[in-house]
Structure formats: structure tokens, C-alpha cells
């Protein structure tokens, strides 16, 4: 029987994603650093706070975040575990509606404002069209998320960033999938005076042949696509019912592409 492994797009076994909250004007510089190095980010925005002059303008969203992901952070950034569930639903859905006017794609991600969550909120989010939500803290791990509604990043950018980046680059065992996930707030680079940290990190991480650079939702869509692949009982062919191509490795050979909507003999 064939031994089949899931791969990231292009047959890669490592993925890097970034996640930044609040939509402050420092996002402009951060996005530029990402773009210079081919890094992809997810930016969580509060639709009710754009009147703050320290935040980007809504009309900037389509151009500033082009090639990246815009996601929810609720309308007004409340500590939602203290709020009634109908209020939480309103905060999420109204944020989605506003942001989607500018993105022109479904906004499906969230980061919990103030890191606030509860089991009841987690159960509510799928009904609000949310596929994942990020918690605060650092896992110091490159493991894939077990619960997308309690998705913890590898590290905040002020926590062992370069050390963990070097460890990630050194990973070579292709029988595993690895994810490095960095989070923070772009204004913190001004507060700490350490923009050079992110510049050095992105230069170090960018342009690697074995890394897939993705947004948060692209990562989960990839995992969801793989879960929908339909394999023959003896693993000698596979049908891809998805609208996107998938990649797999068969018997430790170079990865092969399974085109969208097609059956491939293995």
C-alpha cells in the first residue's frame, strides 16, 4: 500500500505565517517589510475604531493589505468573555460586514480582543462565519494547531524571535509538517524602538525554497482541502473535490500535485 503524506503547496513541509492586530498606522511599514521579503501576514482590524488618527483609514484596506489577509478583531475591542453572547455575535458580524465592503472577499478569521474568550464564544464563532481565532501567548512550538478556535502562535515577536527562526530554518525531516506563527502589534516596534528586529527576521526567513509563505486562512484552507481528498481503499488513486490544487508525497518520492477536480493515479 502506498504511503501518502500531506504537503503544503509546492510540496513544501514548512509554513510561515504572521498575525498583527489593531490596524495602527505602523502597519504600513510592517506590510512594506513583509512585501520586500515575500512574507504573508494576517491583519486583524476593529471597524469601529477607524476614527482614531493613529489607525489606518478604511479606504487604505484594499491597497495596503493586498496579497495579505484582513480578519476580524471585533468592532470596538471589548473584553468579550464579559459580554452577553448576542453582543459578541454583533461585534463579530458587524466587523465582518464592514471589512468585507473593502476586501470584497469573505472575512473568516478573528483574533480575540484582549485575549478574551470562553467555551460559549468558541461555539458561537462558526455560526458567525469565523473559521479560526487566535489566542495570546507563545507556544514556542512549530506544531500545527489542534483547535483552530484556540490557535496559539509560536511566539510574539518580542519573545525569542530570532532564536526560534533559526531553529525553524534548521528543520529538515520531511516526514513532519511544521508551522512557524508570529504575532504582535505593529505599533510595538515604535514603542520598543526595534524595527530592526522584524527587518532582520524577514530577511533571514524570506526566499526559502522549503517554506510556504501563507496567511492564517490560507493555512487552514490548505488543511481543510487535504481533509477532503478522497483516496482509494488501497491508496492507488486519489480524487481532489476541491477548487484548489493539493500536494502529496507518495512513498517518500518528490511531491506530486493533485489538480482541483481531478483524479490522479498514485
Triad 95, 98, 100: Cα angle to 5°: 105
Q: Across residues 1-23, what is the average pLDDT?
A: 97
Give the DSSP H or E segment for 90: helix 85-103
- pLDDT tens-digit readout, 40-98: 999 999 999 999 999 999 999 999 999 999 999 999 999 999 999 999 999 999 999 99
Query: Does residue 266 fall inside a structural domain?
Result: no
Instruction: Report CA-CA distances (Å) from 236 to 2, 12, 97, 133, 140.
Output: 7, 22, 45, 37, 38
Bridge partners of residue 183, in order along the sequence: 19, 156
Query: Does residue 70 fall inside a structural domain?
Result: yes
Triad 43, 47, 53: Cα angle to 5°: 85
- pLDDT tens-digit readout, 129-164: 999 999 999 999 999 999 999 999 999 999 999 999
Strand ordering across the sheet containing 230-231: 230-231, 237-239, 263-265
CA gap 23, 102 in Å, rounded: 14
CA gap 92, 76 in Å, rounded: 10
Query: Does residue 174 fall inside a structural domain?
Result: yes
Task: Determine the number of helices (DSSP H) and then strands (DSSP E) in the chain.
Answer: 8, 14
Query: Does residue 20 fall inside a structural domain?
Result: yes
Please give the pLDDT value at position 50: 95
Q: Across residues 163-182, what is the average pLDDT?
A: 96
- pLDDT tens-digit readout, 207-264: 999 999 999 999 999 999 999 999 999 999 999 999 999 999 999 899 999 999 999 9
Please give the pLDDT value at position 146: 95
Please give the pLDDT value at position 65: 98
Please give the pLDDT value at position 34: 98
Query: Does residue 160 fall inside a structural domain?
Result: yes
Domains of the chain: total? 1
CA gap 81, 118 in Å, rounded: 6
CA gap 128, 126 in Å, rounded: 5
CATH number of domain containing 112: 3.20.20.370
Are 130 and 92 in contact by the 8 Å Cβ rule? The answer is yes
Phi, psi of 70, deg, nearest 5? -100, 130
Please give the pLDDT value at position 188: 98
Query: Does residue 181 fall inside a structural domain?
Result: yes
Query: Does residue 126 fall inside a structural domain?
Result: yes
Please give the pLDDT value at position 40: 98
Please give the pLDDT value at position 17: 98
List the domain range (segments joined by +) for residue 83. Answer: 13-216
Query: Does residue 31 fall inside a structural domain?
Result: yes
Instruction: Report CA-CA distances (Å) from 122 to 13, 20, 57, 67.
Output: 29, 21, 30, 28
CA 117 to chain centre: 19
CA gap 5, 229 in Å, rounded: 12
Amino acid at each position: 500500500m502506498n504511503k501518502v503524506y500531506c504537503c503544503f503547496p509546492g510540496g513544501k513541509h514548512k509554513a510561515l505565517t504572521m498575525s498583527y492586530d489593531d490596524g495602527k498606522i505602523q502597519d504600513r511599514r510592517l506590510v512594506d517589510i513583509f512585501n520586500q521579503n515575500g512574507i504573508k501576514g494576517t491583519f486583524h482590524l476593529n471597524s469601529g475604531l477607524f476614527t482614531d488618527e493613529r489607525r489606518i483609514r478604511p479606504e487604505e484596506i484594499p491597497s495596503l493589505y493586498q496579497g495579505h489577509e484582513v480578519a476580524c478583531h471585533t468592532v470596538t475591542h471589548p473584553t468579550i468573555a464579559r459580554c452577553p453572547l448576542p453582543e459578541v455575535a454583533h461585534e463579530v458580524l458587524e466587523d465582518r460586514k464592514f471589512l468585507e465592503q473593502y476586501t470584497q472577499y469573505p472575512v473568516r478569521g478573528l483574533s480575540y480582543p484582549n485575549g478574551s474568550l470562553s467555551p460559549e464564544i468558541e461555539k458561537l464563532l462558526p455560526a458567525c462565519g469565523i473559521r479560526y481565532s487566535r489566542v495570546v501567548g507563545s507556544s514556542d512550538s512549530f506544531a500545527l494547531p489542534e483547535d483552530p478556535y484556540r490557535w496559539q502562535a509560536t511566539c510574539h515577536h518580542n519573545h525569542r524571535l530570532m532564536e526560534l527562526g533559526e531553529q525553524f530554518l534548521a528543520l529538515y525531516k520531511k516526514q513532519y509538517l511544521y508551522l512557524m506563527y508570529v504575532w504582535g502589534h505593529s505599533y510595538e516596534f515604535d514603542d520598543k524602538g526595534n524595527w530592526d528586529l522584524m527587518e532582520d527576521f524577514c530577511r533571514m526567513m524570506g526566499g526559502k525554497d522549503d517554506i510556504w509563505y501563507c496567511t492564517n486562512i490560507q493555512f487552514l484552507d490548505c488543511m481543510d482541502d487535504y481533509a477532503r481528498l478522497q483516496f482509494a481503499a488501497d491508496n492507488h488513486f486519489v480524487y481532489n473535490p476541491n477548487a484548489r490544487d493539493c500536494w502529496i508525497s507518495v512513498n517518500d518520492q518528490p511531491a506530486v500535485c493533485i489538480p482541483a477536480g481531478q483524479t490522479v493515479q498514485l
